[in-house]
Amino acid sequence: MGTSITFKRPDGKEASGYLANAARGDAPCVVVIQEWWGLQDQIKGMCDRFALAGFDALAPDLYGGAVVPYHDTDAANRQMTSLNFMDATTQSVRGAVQYLARNGAKVGLTGFCMGGAVTIIGATKIPELTAGVVFYGIPPEAAAKPADVRIPLQAHFASKDDWCTPESVDTWEKAMQAAGKSLELHRYEADHGFANEQRMMVHDREAAELAWSRATSFFHKHLG
């Protein structure tokens, strides 16, 4: 449904990504950030699904073409730990936001796992954003202080998550509340990665569909 494109980063360098357009010409827009597996077909499928829901959706390729097989967590960890998160967010992700916003559309940001953490960083660093939806990812506070969040956020977390643990989610939620930020947070009796239908060991269809309906409603509310 979508297509591969290139776009400019704020520093003038080129980045690549996968773009899926809605049927209407003046659609609101969403930037979709990959898990630590890279720009998998599943993430491209999320862009296609956003397009069917009425959004132009662009997933920037933060790994420069590298895609990690789902079984190889060691390789995924190496890719994620070698990523310069600040450069990825303020350059590649912001470039994608600016590309979608060029005709005046409102732009939201969403991401999964690693992409959830990038979404929160983007909420503090990318001025062109209007709203964000986080899926089971939290960055270190040094990378994105709750007090610096600029936009309304919706967040989805799993109760059986050993990466974004329930305790870390509670701590982040309290910090967001203490900073007076707009946060709508949902918890699910599911595993980390529950929205990825290609990973059957963790996918939870009921939780994934509920989170999807909440996310699209949230974006329609804030983006149009």
| pLDDT single digits (tens) 25-58 | 899 999 999 999 999 999 999 999 999 999 999 9
- In this prediction, residue 157 has a pLDDT band, given cuts at 50, 70 and 90, of very high
The answer to whether 107 touches 101, Cβ cutoff 8 Å, is: yes
CA gap 180, 215 in Å, rounded: 21
pLDDT at 210 over 90: yes
The answer to whether 219 touches 188, Cβ cutoff 8 Å, is: no
CA gap 28, 142 in Å, rounded: 31
| pLDDT single digits (tens) 55-75 | 999 999 999 999 999 999 999
Are β-strands 153-160 and 129-135 bridged in parallel, bridged antiparallel, or unpaired?
parallel
Closest C-alpha to 61, from 81, 82, 35, 86: 35
Q: Looking at residue 9, what is its pLDDT?
A: 98
The answer to whether 141 touches 174, Cβ cutoff 8 Å, is: no
Q: What is the mean pLDDT of residues 148-177?
A: 98
What is the C-alpha R_g of the chain?
A: 16
pLDDT cut 90: percent of the chain above it: 98
pLDDT at 1 over 90: no
CA gap 88, 85 in Å, rounded: 5
- C-alpha angle 150-155-202 in degrees, rounded to nearest 5: 145
CA gap 101, 151 in Å, rounded: 16
The answer to whether 33 touches 65, Cβ cutoff 8 Å, is: no
Which residue in this structure is represented by tokens 């960055």? 139
